[in-house]
Structure 1
């Protein structure tokens, strides 16, 4: 049985919740992606998409989905951060915290197809 990162009911602190901003319920994320709910859950279990529980409901940051797809570079970035020892909440904090040297947040850089530098930084933290 594979472990699903999202089923761990990590306590989402207010600061991280506010950093992320807009959230999607799992069925809404599934609809935006144009896939079946089982496939969305598979993406989460494979660490290609990140979801956490907010008030007991599994939710996905809206910024992770753009034009009906998971933003380019997100799966690799999630893997790098996981390899660096980041849990789901730490990953969200890192992805949504502004970095003047990028500029913007890592998730904004991914959405703008500037993922090389984001992955480079994530990889550097793994060592």
Structure 2
């Protein structure tokens, strides 16, 4: 099996993160499933203080990956964005949304995030 691609931590320290084990527990799946999602690039993980983590907001309360997140990641990656750029974009405030794209995904405004990601990927 290939190694798990972890990014460098590009987010501010105040962004709450959870370990891959905690993500697996919340989702009710084995940790190997979370690791496979990272390998498949459906989920982006990074190391914070040498511990593999994902932003807590990537996992919904219902125990699944945030709706629209994998599609947004794929859309931007196919448009030439690096995973670091994708993560930064997701957490950067945009006055026209308002808020960040990740907040918009949580606020049930996924279609607007998709439109913006499509425009950026062109």
CA distance in 2, matches of 1:52, 1:11: 6
Cα deviation for residue 70 of structure 1 reads 0.7
Moved over 6 A (4+): none
Report the TM-score, using the length of structure 1 for normalisation: 0.85
Give the aligned CA root-mean-square deviation in angstroms.
1.8
Q: How many residues align?
A: 121
Unpaired runs of 5+ residues, structure 1, are none
State the partner residue of 1:60: 54
Q: 1:50 deviation in Å? A: 1.3
Distance (whole Å) between structure 1 residues aligned to residue 72 and residue 37 of structure 2: 14
Question: Partners in 1 of 2:12 and 2:25 — Cα distance?
Answer: 22
TM-fit CA distance, 1:55 = 2.3
Structure 2 spans left out of the alignment, 5+ residues: none
User: Which residue in 2 is equivalent to 1:11?
Assistant: 8
Q: Out of 16, 19, 27, which is 1:33 matched to? A: 27
